[in-house]
Amino acid sequence: MPQKSKNTQKSGLWRILFSRTGIIFVMIIIQLTILFFSTYYLERYMTYIYGAITILGIIVLVYIINSGGNPAFQMTWMLLVLAFPVIGTLFYLFVKTQPGFREMKRKLAEKKIETDIYMQQEDEVKEAIWASKSSNALLAHYLSNSLGFPTYRNTQLTYFPLGEDNWESMLEELSKAKRYIFMEYFIVKEGKMWGSILKILRKKVREGVEVRFMYDGMNSISSLPYSYYKVLKRYGIKCKVINKMRPFLTTTQNNRDHRKICVIDGKVGYTGGINLADEYVNLDRRFGHWKDTAIMLKGEAVQSLTMMFLQMWNVDEREDSEDYQNYLTPKIKHIYRQFGYVIPYADSPFDDENVGEEVYFHILNHAKKYVHIMTPYLILDNEMRTTLTRVAKSGIEVIIIMPHIPDKWYAFCVAKTYYAELISSGVQIYEYTPGFVHAKVFVSDDDTATVGTINLDYRSLYLHFENGVFIYGNSEVPKIEEDFQKTIKLSHKVTLSEIANRSLLTKIVGKVMRIIAPLM
């Protein structure tokens, strides 16, 4: 493992320079500068200056009102523009006019077209799921026909209720790699977990295995040296940083690569909430016991994870040199009915589809008995809040397990502003008393579930690159529910009286932060 760099622990100033806070700070300086010069040097032109600012603000407001997207985002931007004309207008233009985003959107669309031939829905599988459960067949049709994520059979699943279990399995499977290893993760931190994985990757490179590794650029301000990718390249690992951070020049932090994908030889795949850092396997207990989940796929559905990875990998390639056929998953002739149906899916801020939220809506709207949810954050848009309350009022048991020890205090304050309405509607909310829940799990009626990277907040549902696996009729679904029941026994049920007795500061912070929740 490489020696830990002093740059790994970034200073507060470094964080500000590379964050939305830094951008807003610059905008505030600009507004104060304009006020200063207007008062002392441009007094005679002040009417014209503010007239120009007002006209520009009105144009931006008209554009926001007529733009598509979630109304919560529109309201937040409108409030920002009205309350702070210079900051709000300039920040909105800064976010919305960057050519890099448009180029990335175009390239991703091109790569999706290139891989479509390897993501075709088999008619036999489509007919079988229609005969089995028509409601899930409708979701399968949406994911396949509209988005290119086919439904598979012949895929064995293994559910991991803790990060430690996933880590142990991943080390074993990585050691077996013969041809290639693809890994794409949001967070990577130097430590025991990453060190053990990196040791195997370096060994596999020496054995002639192709190793590709991607991580999100936010690591450069929180966990890794800015040029860490060069270290990995020196080891022979092909490495890319998605959305590199550049101070004041981009807002790529708005569209983070939040996916967690590991593919080994096209035969084994992993995804879930678990990143490559010691807290995810309880070696570093900053927030008590870390409860996280993951899932391993073996079989035909791994091909979708492979193509998701390659689409992102090739988004900045100048030449179309990828030979996708070198990375296909072998077909299985015999049908294993106990494996049910598996649909790996991805979500992108550029596809004009809220895929993750649509999967969650589907599970909620078609439940017959219960929907059980684990999520670290609860920052809901109007549609999700309405759906949760309506389903609970309809007699369906809806239970949400949240952390008791949060990693982000401000997000926890916002989450608590939803508790009273949800509980009054019949939604049960529990907090995991041993520590922090990072799992992103929906399970329903003992036959349907999804495990992935998608939180119940605006960023995951609208702004980030995400992925998950929808599961129906697989023998692992009851094990997911079993894990939920074990987790709830370690959790505290939140009551209305408890919510009413929150401190005044918590209530105020939560309500104020909720106003800007879509931009958090």
Question: Any alpha helices (H) in 247-333, and if so which ranges?
Answer: 302-313
Q: Provide the residue-wise pLDDT of the chain in tens; the chain has 520 residues.
A: 444 444 434 444 444 444 444 555 565 566 566 656 655 565 666 677 677 777 887 888 887 777 766 777 777 777 777 777 777 777 777 777 666 677 788 888 889 999 999 999 999 989 999 988 888 999 999 999 989 999 999 899 999 999 999 999 999 999 999 999 999 999 999 999 999 999 999 999 999 999 999 999 887 777 888 889 999 999 999 999 987 766 545 555 578 899 999 999 999 999 999 999 999 999 999 899 999 999 999 999 999 999 999 999 998 877 777 889 999 998 877 666 668 999 999 999 888 889 999 999 999 999 999 999 999 999 998 899 999 999 999 999 999 999 999 988 888 888 999 999 999 999 999 999 999 999 999 999 999 999 999 999 988 998 899 999 999 999 999 999 999 999 999 999 999 999 888 888 888 888 887 777 766 6
Residue finishing a domain among 97, 114, 137: 97
For residue 425, give the CATH number of its domain.
Answer: 3.30.870.10
Indicate if 50 and 162 belong to the same structural domain: no
**Does 367 lie in the same domain as 291?**
no
Selection from 77, 296, 46, 267 nearest residue 168 by Cα: 296
Rg value, the chain, Cα? 24
Identify whether residues 34 and 154 lie together within a single domain: no
φ and ψ of 256, to 5 deg: -75, 150
Decide if 2 is inside a domain: no
Q: Both 392 and 419 in a single domain?
A: yes
Do residues 167 and 193 lie in contact, with contact meaning Cβ atoms separated by under 8 Å?
A: yes
Domain boundary among 70, 97, 124: 97
* Predicted TM-score (pTM) above 0.75: yes
- Domain contains 3: no
* Cα separation, 226 vs 152, whole angstroms: 39
Find the domain containing 453 and state its range.
355-519
Does 91 share its domain with 137?
Answer: no
Residues 258, 329, single domain; the answer is yes
**Which runs of E-coded beta strand occur in 34-187?**
155-160, 180-185
Please tell me whether residues 141 and 266 are part of one structural domain. Answer: yes
Structural domain count of the chain = 3
Note whether 276 and 396 are same-domain residues.
Answer: no
Residue 108 belongs to some domain of the structure: yes
